[in-house]
Amino acid sequence: MTQQVVNALTLGSVIALFALGYSMVYGILTILNFAHGEVFMIGAFMGYYVQKLFIVDNQLTANPILIIFLSLLVAMVVCGALAVTIEFVAYRPLRQAARLAPLISALAMSVLLRNIMGVITKFRVRPISTDLLLPQRWAVHIGETTIAASRYVIIGVTLISLVALELFMARTKAGKAMRACAQDREAASFMGISVNGIISLTFLVGAVMAGIGGIMTGLYYTQIDFSMGFSLGMKAFTAAVLGGIGNLRGAVLGSFILATAETLGSYYISFTYRDVIAFAILITILLFKPSGLLGKPIPVKV
Amino acid sequence: MPLMRLDGVSKRFGGLEALREVSFALHVGQIMALIGPNGAGKTTLFNCVAGADRPSAGQVFFRGEDVTGRPAHAMCRAGLARTFQHSRLFDDLTVLENVIVGRHCRTYAGLAAAFLRLPRHGREERESREQAMHALTRVGLADRAQDEAGSLPLGERHLLEIARGLATEPVLLLLDEPAAGLNDEETANLGHCVRRIRDDGVTILLVEHDMTFVMDISDQVVVLDYGRKIADGPPLMIQADPEVIRAYLGEDLE
Amino acid sequence: MSTPVGFWNRNWGFITLAVVALAMPLLVADAYLLSILAFMATRFMVVIGLSLLLGQAGQISLGHAAFVAIGAYGSALLVTRLSMNPWLAMVVAAVLAAGVAGVIGIPTLKLKGHYLAMATLGFGEIVFILLVQLKGLTRGTDGITGIPPLTLGSLDFSQPRLYHVLVWLVALIVFRLALNLSESRVGRSLKALRRSELAAESLGVNASWRKLQVFMISAVFASLAGSFDAHYVQFISPDSYGITFSVILVCSVVIGGFRSVWGALWGTLATVILPEVIKRIHEDAVNLVFGILLILIVVLLPVKSGPLARVAHDVRCLFHREERG
């Protein structure tokens, strides 16, 4: 049982890092950033490439903590840069069009990026050396359950990231500007906030979170492939909608609820259908409470 | 028997009470105006009557029947047409095509007739065109039939919305701010148009802010403030009503 | 209006297409090229349906591959497991597709914009997962083999030229029906509905019912296409019916321009011919190029003049709904 709790927390953490990006971008631009999944996936691959540098003959050539740290750094930088570029190329020109146009653009971006990585990786799965980086002996034992190092590292890193994000949004000028723009873009611009800059920043922050999440996901699943962005992306999106799209706390809440449902469901009901659980939840929420648990009701303007 | 009767109609949006127990009656052949300060609930009332929204409480009677909560397309079929505050014309269709859409509720050719091009379909299409042209003539836009709707100036846009509503063969026509943004000449033209429509047998209920227009054209005026009805009577009585003046404090009530 | 000249003026495009399409087997000798053209016909059917849904009625579906799959698997299973007559199986599968569309359409078509997109995406994915996981029924990723070809009396439709004529005949009928629909009273109600659901409802259009009707029709067209493909290739597997296919279908509608149902033809041409050309250059780059193409088109929307601007204008018009004003 404790094992399931740990699994749920770990999965929830990974999804939360991912889901935040969706909510942030939706909150400020009211668009669904379909390409976010691919940013996440590329973050994971950055981890793979960095780690490959330090593994020779199945041995680490440097301190694992250092390697992981470096992976995170590279992922954050690359994902951030990528997301800002995507916004500039695929969304900014469509600012004036109503919401569905960026959706199609996002879809196209997603297909594009997914296939570029697919071609680069020759559509094959790549392994992540979790057992080398976070060896078995680092596992923690509580009573009868063994908590692998990857689990508590993921939960820990996520916690730190979430706290950092919270502080950023609440205490820094940039964070407050982001919240202002999310509430009312026009009013924010009247108060001298550079809206374009804040939008880029939003994509950046969301992508940095996704980059961290990508590395963590690699450690969790011990293998990554070019299509992981889509499958996990649907779950992250579901989590964001569940919690109330546009609401950051909601995204985190939704992630853990979804992770719990999936972990319990796959354990007690069926393992193969665990993905169906996520989609079923998605459709159910969209039909009955599209504003999610913590979201505001969608105003009907006549 | 009144053509339309509202009985204690209320509408709540979450915590906000947009309409509070509004009751009044509208008789055949009248031109009634619904006025009130901004946010008084006038468009909300239109929506509840026309079927775009349903009242939280109370009832709406139309031609003797309880139509509370009936959807918009059913209200259209029942003989009620409406225009919108920010005109919702089909801009990239022609003026005539816009009005032909109005014939939808009076024609019947369905999927089978459409797919197979049955003779009934062709016949209905011809009739629809004629009726649409007739509606355009009634508002004076017949010569603009082939122009793109988006190219029309504001005054003619309002007239086109009215023509579209007329094409549905209504007994009651709801006009939501038909004079908004119009200059004196266009407003006078609108007034003539509305009177002609009433003389043809269509009852009119309109929402307006232009007080000169309202007082000039209406037989009866209902005043809303914060969702409540605060006055109901002929224009001269309304103009002198102290409550109405207070609600409009600061507004020119000439 | 019923003069021969009048008839030609109104229908010359369709007649030309019909003649060219049906005459192809006489002009083309290469078997591979013929099979490409045959695939075009079934792809055309699906895109026509989607064009009615997206272009005329303005409802986006990112899960349409699921309906093609229902047609394909429906036909395959009914024929191989229950030995049903293939033509009857095709009809049954189409009815099933319509039923599924009706059931999921009722709640989801109330959603707007990206919510609808996500819901249809979710639906498409669920169907895909079921196809892979319900191994007892669908044989999972192994797929179903040994699907018999279509026959009618002494006509064996596994023969490429014969099949080509059959499938294009059906595609042309579907096209004609769609054209008739878009130029009819119902078609007009769809156009109104797309531009302003509120205004259309106030003029008597029962929006929910119309959207559902078009959704079901597009599901039927997709299902028929899936059935024909299944009988021609004689093998199906879930891989062909994933999200990528759904996205390609939407691409086809957008690329072809959706002001009119004719856009479905151009879009199909683009998305069937183009991959063939790319395949000769680099096997895996197909989806990549689609992605680039779509982005280019959607992002070049601000272009103000030339043919591209018309496409851009149409896409903008599609998306400018109640949000404005």
Note the pLDDT tens digit of each residue in A161-181: 999 998 988 888 888 888 888
User: Which of C10, C180, C185 should one mutate to test binding to chain B, selecting the residue with the greatest count of B CBs within 10 A?
Assistant: C185
Q: Is the pTM of this model over 0.95?
A: no
DSSP state of B94: B
**Band (B4; pLDDT cuts 50, 70, 90):** very high
Residues B70 and B2 occupy one common structural domain: yes
Residue C315 forms contact with B (CB below 8 Å): no
Residues B175 and B73 occupy one common structural domain: yes
* Closest chain B CA to residue C203: B102
The yes-or-no verdict on residue B33 having pLDDT over 50 is yes
Mean pLDDT, residues B192-203: 92
Residue A64 forms contact with C (CB below 8 Å): no
Whole-number pLDDT of residue C102: 93
Q: What is the CATH number of the domain that holds B128?
A: 3.40.50.300
Query: Amino acid letter at C271?
Result: T
Whole-number pLDDT of residue A302: 32
**Band (C303; pLDDT cuts 50, 70, 90):** very low
User: Which of A34, A85, A109, A112 should one mutate to test binding to chain C, selecting the residue with the greatest count of C CBs within 10 A?
Assistant: A112
The region, left, alpha or beta by phi > 0 then psi within -120 to 50, assigned to residue A11 is: alpha
> Which residue is listed with tokens 């009907």?
A300
Residue B47 forms contact with A (CB below 8 Å): yes
Pick the CATH number of C12-324 from 1.10.8, 1.10.600, 1.10.3470, 3.40.50: 1.10.3470
Whole-number pLDDT of residue C321: 44
d(CA A113, CA C292): 10
Whole-number pLDDT of residue A171: 87
Residue C247 forms contact with A (CB below 8 Å): yes
Mean pLDDT, residues B95-121: 88
* Nearest-by-Cβ selection for A286 from C119, C250, C254: C119
d(CA B75, CA C202): 8
> Strand B203-207 vs strand B31-35: parallel, antiparallel, or unpaired?
parallel
The yes-or-no verdict on residue B254 having pLDDT over 70 is no
Q: How high does pLDDT run on average in chain A?
A: 83
**What is the separation, in whole angstroms, between the first and last Cα of chain B?**
33
Which of B169, B197, B215 terminates a domain? The answer is B169
* Nearest-by-Cβ selection for B105 from C187, C196, C204: C204
To the nearest whole Å, the CA of B160 is away from the closest chain C CA by: 13
CB contact at 8 A, A215 and A75: yes
Mean pLDDT, residues C180-190: 90
To the nearest whole Å, the CA of B62 is away from the closest chain A CA by: 22
d(CA C165, CA A217): 52
* Nearest-by-Cβ selection for A297 from B14, B43, B52: B14
Highest mean pLDDT among A241-245, B47-51, C113-117: B47-51
Q: Do C291 and A112 touch (CB under 8 A)?
A: yes
Whole-number pLDDT of residue A84: 93
Residues B18 and B50 occupy one common structural domain: yes
C136 neighbourhood in chain A, CB within 8 Å = none
The yes-or-no verdict on residue C174 having pLDDT over 90 is yes
B53 neighbourhood in chain A, CB within 8 Å = 300, 302
Whole-number pLDDT of residue A274: 72
3-state secondary structure of B57: strand
The yes-or-no verdict on residue C177 having pLDDT over 90 is yes
Lookup: tokens for B67: 């139509």
How confident is the model over A8-56, as pLDDT tens digits? 899 999 999 999 988 888 888 878 888 899 999 999 999 888 888 887 7
Count of domains observed in chain B: 2
CB contact at 8 A, B92 and C317: yes
* Residue ranges of domains in chain C: 12-324
Q: Which residue, A298, A285, A3, A288, is CA-closest to A143?
A: A3
The lowest-confidence range among A42-51, A115-124, A139-148, C228-237 is A139-148
> Which residue is listed with tokens 């609440």?
A170
Q: Do A302 and B14 touch (CB under 8 A)?
A: no
Whole-number pLDDT of residue C315: 57
Whole-number pLDDT of residue A72: 92
> Strand B57-62 vs strand B228-233: parallel, antiparallel, or unpaired?
unpaired
Residues B75 and B181 occupy one common structural domain: yes
How confident is the model over B174-191, as pLDDT tens digits? 999 998 888 888 899 899
How confident is the model over B215-228, as pLDDT tens digits? 899 999 999 988 88
Q: Do B52 and A302 touch (CB under 8 A)?
A: yes
Residues B91 and B164 occupy one common structural domain: yes
Whole-number pLDDT of residue B3: 92
Given this structure, which CATH class describes domain A2-288?
A: mainly alpha
How confident is the model over B131-172, as pLDDT tens digits? 999 999 988 888 888 998 888 988 889 999 999 999 999 999
Q: Do B47 and A302 touch (CB under 8 A)?
A: yes
The lowest-confidence range among A85-94, B50-59, C79-88, C110-119 is C110-119
How confident is the model over C229-262, as pLDDT tens digits? 999 988 898 988 988 888 889 888 887 877 788 9
Whole-number pLDDT of residue C324: 34
Q: How high does pLDDT run on average in chain B?
A: 89
d(CA C292, CA C307): 19
Query: Amino acid letter at B45?
Result: L
* Residue ranges of domains in chain A: 2-288
Count CB atoms within 10 A of the CB of residue B177. 20
**What is the separation, in whole angstroms, between the first and last Cα of chain C?**
41
The yes-or-no verdict on residue C325 having pLDDT over 50 is no
The yes-or-no verdict on residue A284 having pLDDT over 70 is yes
The yes-or-no verdict on residue C302 having pLDDT over 50 is no
Q: What are phi and psi of A131, to 5 degrees?
A: -70, -25
Q: Do B47 and A297 touch (CB under 8 A)?
A: no
Mean pLDDT, residues C304-312: 49
Residues B162 and B175 occupy one common structural domain: no
CB contact at 8 A, B223 and B35: yes
C-alpha pair distances (Å), A3 with each of A253, C201, C279:
20, 55, 48
- Residue-range definition of the domain harbouring residue B129: 87-169
In terms of DSSP H, where are the helices of chain C?
Answer: 4-27, 31-51, 65-82, 86-108, 113-133, 135-138, 160-182, 185-195, 197-202, 207-233, 243-256, 263-281, 286-299, 307-319
The yes-or-no verdict on residue C118 having pLDDT over 90 is no
